[in-house]
Structure 1
Amino acid sequence: MPYDAIRVETDAATRVATITLNRPDKLNSFTRAMHRELAAALDEIVASGARALVLTGAGRAFCAGQDLADLDFTPGAMSDLGALIEEHFNPLVKHLQALPMPVIAAVNGTAAGAGANLAFACDIVLAARSASFIQAFVKIGLVPDSGGTWFLPKRVGMARALGLAMTGERLPAEKAESWGLVWQVTDDADLAQTAAALAAQLAKQPTRAIVATRHAMRASATQTLDQQVDLERDLQRELGNSYDYAEGVQAFMEKRAPRFEGR
């Protein structure tokens, strides 16, 4: 389908899809229309058989969060933020977390508010050296949403999470990397190529194993050790019956590179 607020590209050779948030004049801030396009694009990418996704932004920002111009501030008829979150932001975060492929955020500039937490909802975060992350909610009297209160404490600890959320201070990319929020920082000119190369590498891997690994890692946050090792057992049993496991073992025995198909 045609898109206005985003661009969608799929490389048939590498089976890597790329979604670019494409409202550069508005720092790629969210509107309801953008949300609808993102939901449709994610479904389209899954249907296409892509095996990795890169999410990035056009221009000088990754995403500046919600576009306030898309909200109604008329006294007595103000937009219901809870309804907005329930209808758009929460489904987007859940959709990204459940995709049957690895997702890379290539943060090319400012990631503020929901835009920062959109990046953290992805599996791996790459950032340009000039990028920054801002929990901007406090600046307009709000609480971090789009999973921010879940992602931040788990990744940087409570002290740093509260500091970021309560002050709304800008967190530079290299500091975000040292705190564990970012996998890798690259020179600005190298970000797109680095993200494409990593996505192509992941697309060649056993996709079901990658998705199962993501599921197990996230489950560990709320499970006991006994529950977690049982989950590992169940996932290993399931993957042990997959084509990619048989191919991986065969390739090892034949001393050649495996040809995984993601099944």
Structure 2
Amino acid sequence: MDWQKGESSNNVEVDSGNGGGGGPRFGGGRMGIGGIVVLAILGWIFFKNPLALLDQGGNQTSAPTQTSQPAQVDPQQKEFVSRILGSTEKTWGDIFAASGGTYVDPKLELFSGGVNTACGAASTAVGPFYCPGDQKVYLDLAFFQELQNRFHASGDFARAYVIAHEVGHHVQKLTGVFDQVEAARRRGAPMDGADGLSVRQELQADCYAGVWANRTQARLQWLQPGDVESALNAASQIGDDTLQEQAQGRVVPDSFTHGTSAQRVKWFKAGLNSGDMAQCNTFAGEP
């Protein structure tokens, strides 16, 4: 992947170690929308209970402050992230403008160890995530090594897919999907499970990542042989069924939050092949 062709973004921030994000914002005896939805997103790579990761236990109304340290960022890795984020800004800016809308760029914060966000405290263990409360993508660059070592998903395009997926959640925030999911949850719609809203929301972010890949390739011609396969492999490696089988030797569909490997590949390809976000309605029919 010739990622140097990508547009550079001015929206990459490096955590100074002061926590960032303004700390958790929960109240009223229950989590607000940011806290609720982030639980469906945190740990999209690791098969873990986000409530435990945030030390919520399902009962507390606020998350503890996460101890963080100044992020140690390799300049080339930061430049890579900047170029990928910049390419998403160009892609989604064009798409929104074509429909008469305005795309508001998200921030992307690089951190080390842990970070405090508007959605609560998080550690490196949860993997990359998007917080709708402050409209930021959070990424510990150490995750890219984990992606290669644990999930055998190497290559720049696989890493770019990870960033594009989280930006896909930002697109959902701007288009009202987060509010719609929250409203449905309040009406009693199931979040987890093979047919739950969390799975559908994650699969749509995968599809949006595919839309970005299609549009950016048409503009920059930056992909090389094997790049698409590396991204599809990454999508396959992080399906709920694959992660559960690896972690506990069995698959429990009722606890799915992100979709199966086949579903993640299917929806990424739907966006990749079409370049049309209208093809990403994962909330209709079978996910």
TM-score normalised over the length of structure 1: 0.30
Report which of the two structures shows the higher radius of gyration computed on alpha carbons: 1
Structure with the higher strand share, 1 or 2: 1
